[in-house]
Amino acid sequence: MFRSRKTVKEFVALMSIPFMFSIFVIYSYHTSTETEIYMYLKRHSATRKHLKPRISSSGKIELLLFVGIHSAPSRLDRRNAMRETWMKECQSNSNAVCRFFTDGQEPNGQALQGEKRIKLENERRVHEDLLLTEVPGGVNFAVKYLWMLQWAKERYDFQYFLRLDDDYFICFDKLMLELEIIRPREKFQWGWLHCDRKVTEAFGCQ
């Protein structure tokens, strides 16, 4: 098809409008996101560790995130590795709390005794981040998870709850950034239940 030079110029100019608009939208989105990130980092800078805890109307400490970490009594090495790395970010963030949960009872329901108990009690006094669960130990994971969740709910008013094992490494500041700015606040489940997406969809989770 033959077109005059003027017509071609008009056509090119017309077609460039959606393209320029797309660039503007993308630029605006990234600028907005960068602004949110900057404001978040500004709020949670070095001064954040000096902020006083916020108390809810129910008398609980308000948090964005509570992290419960399941750890076997013998895995002091793993707990110390976490304390020396990403948990430092959690400890300095007034909007989050991280706690280890380990067995306070034998699999038969009897309380831990002897040297094992003494070591755990000493560790708890030194670090103040270790809880001994009051349910039978061993592979009783579901009951221990419920105990962990109940313990946290009785003391904190949190928006998100994260359960971990003691061999996880978390990019903690990035996680907090995602939760505060990007992720939904309701019906949000991040991960898999029984490796079946249908389970999460049944509860309307995202």
**187 band by pLDDT with thresholds 50, 70 and 90:** confident
Q: Is the pLDDT of residue 194 over 80?
A: no
Q: Is the pLDDT of residue 23 over 50?
A: no
pLDDT one-digit tens code per residue, 105-116: 999 889 989 999
Q: Looking at residue 172, what is its pLDDT?
A: 94
**82 band by pLDDT with thresholds 50, 70 and 90:** very high
Q: Looking at residue 120, what is its pLDDT?
A: 95
List C-alpha distances in Å: 37 to 31, 40, 43, 97.
10, 5, 10, 21
Q: Looking at residue 138, what is its pLDDT?
A: 85
> DSSP per residue over 81-113, as a string?
HHHTTTHHHHHT-TTEEEEEEEESB-TTSPBP-
Nearest CA among 172, 171, 168, 32 for reference residue 96: 172
- Evaluate whether 69 touches 164 at the Cβ level (below 8 Å): yes
Q: Is the pLDDT of residue 202 over 80?
A: no
Region 192-197 average pLDDT: 60
Mean pLDDT, the chain, integer: 79
Q: Where are the domains of the chain?
A: 8-47, 61-182
Region 174-201 average pLDDT: 74
Q: Is the pLDDT of residue 151 over 70?
A: yes
Q: Looking at residue 124, what is its pLDDT?
A: 95
Q: Is the pLDDT of residue 4 over 60?
A: no
Q: What are phi and psi of 8, to 5 degrees?
A: -60, -45
Q: Looking at residue 25, what is its pLDDT?
A: 42
Q: Is the pLDDT of residue 18 over 60?
A: no
* Predicted TM-score (pTM) of this structure: 0.71
pLDDT one-digit tens code per residue, 35-74: 666 565 556 544 454 467 788 778 899 999 999 999 999 9
Nearest CA among 188, 87, 173 for reference residue 128: 87
